[in-house]
């Protein structure tokens, strides 16, 4: 068998395993996609697919639609957890690790334009992209892919060649053919766990505006990493100001965990709440450590 033939058979087997776990999410104003997160009826999709007062229904291939409960939504990451009255479902595994490198093969499965369980293939085009969010904020740390995505794909899985979910499809640019974006599975993993537990994500407040960026060679050498989070603005009277954070600071780590994107900082704040947050910072080429006392968590939009 040729290498291309072997690849084709491997992809066929991957899709055969994964596709039954992909669902359609429907309400009167539109439809999207989702996938099984746990055998007892928990599903993952986009917040913009699940938002609204209208009843939700989930359609599995070859089955009647099931009513779906909104367990929780997080607009900041465009993720939502639903639950349907079913058991014994086959979940897809989330790859709770750093995203794949550009050039890695990925497969998108969803219901674009209402066509059930459509499959497209492409590569990871870039990492750590940022897009404007519907609530006026920004979706940070996104994967960019050239796998074909159309309206209705939102909330469906982006799979690695090993069959793990590496991203959750969130958006496509209608004026830029071949550009689509997905929330990394690393983000989806912790957000979904918090939504199942609490119904919302409440983030302790620091009072900064920041963005992730690739480091210049000198900073990368000093910090022994390739990315950090640049502080753009510090709110007066905030925990960040009280802790000594300044505009222009480069955040490298929080409580010992690397900070490559804003999501990394939020993950630490939410999952390891503590009275004090230790930030490793690069300021004017010199490393230093700051101690902050985050403010009370604010209700998610």
| 48 counts as catalytic | yes
How many residues are there in the chain? 301
166: left (phi over 0), alpha (psi -120 to 50) or beta: alpha
| 154 counts as catalytic | yes
Compute CA distances 35 → 18, 99, 256, 275, whole Å: 9, 19, 33, 36
Cα angle vertex 196, ends 260, 180, to 5°? Answer: 45
Phi, psi of 7 (to 5 degrees): -60, -40
Q: Is 112 exposed, middle or buried (0-12, 13-18, 19+ CB in 10 A)?
A: buried
| 78 counts as catalytic | yes
Catalytic residue among 21, 31, 33, 48: 48
| Torsion on CA atoms 263, 265, 269, 270, rounded to nearest 10 | 10
Catalytic residue among 33, 118, 125, 154: 154
Catalytic residue among 33, 57, 74, 78: 78
Find all residues with CB under 8 Å of 53, minimum gap 6, and list them: none
What are the residue numbers of the active site?
A: 48, 78, 154
């Amino acid at each position: 068998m040729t290498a291309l033939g072997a690849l084709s058979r491997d992809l066929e087997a991957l899709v055969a395993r994964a596709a039954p776990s992909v669902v359609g999410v429907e309400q009167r104003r539109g439809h999207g996609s989702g996938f099984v997160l746990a055998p007892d009826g928990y599903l993952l999709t986009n917040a913009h697919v699940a938002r609204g007062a209208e009843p939700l229904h989930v359609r599995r291939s070859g089955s009647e639609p099931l009513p779906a409960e909104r367990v929780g939504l997080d607009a900041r990451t465009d993720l939502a957890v639903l639950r349907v009255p079913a058991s014994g479902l086959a979940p897809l595994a989330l790859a709770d690790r750093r995203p794949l490198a550009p050039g890695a093969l990925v497969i998108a499965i969803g219901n674009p334009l209402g066509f059930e369980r459509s499959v497209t293939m492409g590569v990871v085009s870039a990492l750590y992209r940022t897009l404007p969010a519907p609530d006026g904020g920004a979706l940070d740390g996104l994967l960019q892919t050239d796998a074909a995505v159309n309206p209705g794909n939102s909330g469906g899985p982006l799979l690695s060649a090993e069959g793990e979910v590496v991203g959750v499809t969130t958006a496509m640019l209608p004026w830029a053919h071949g550009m689509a974006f997905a929330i990394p599975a690393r983000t989806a993993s912790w957000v979904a766990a918090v939504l199942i537990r609490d119904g919302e994500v409440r983030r302790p407040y620091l009072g900064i505006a920041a963005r992730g960026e690739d480091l210049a060679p000198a900073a990368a050498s000093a910090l022994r990493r390739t990315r950090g989070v640049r502080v753009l603005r510090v709110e007066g009277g905030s925990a960040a100001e009280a802790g000594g954070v300044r505009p222009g600071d480069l955040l490298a780590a929080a409580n010992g965990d690397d900070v490559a994107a804003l999501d990394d900082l939020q993950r630490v704040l939410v999952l390891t709440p503590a009275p004090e947050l230790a930030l490793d910072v690069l300021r004017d080429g010199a490393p230093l450590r700051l101690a902050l006392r985050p403010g009370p968590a604010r209700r998610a939009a």
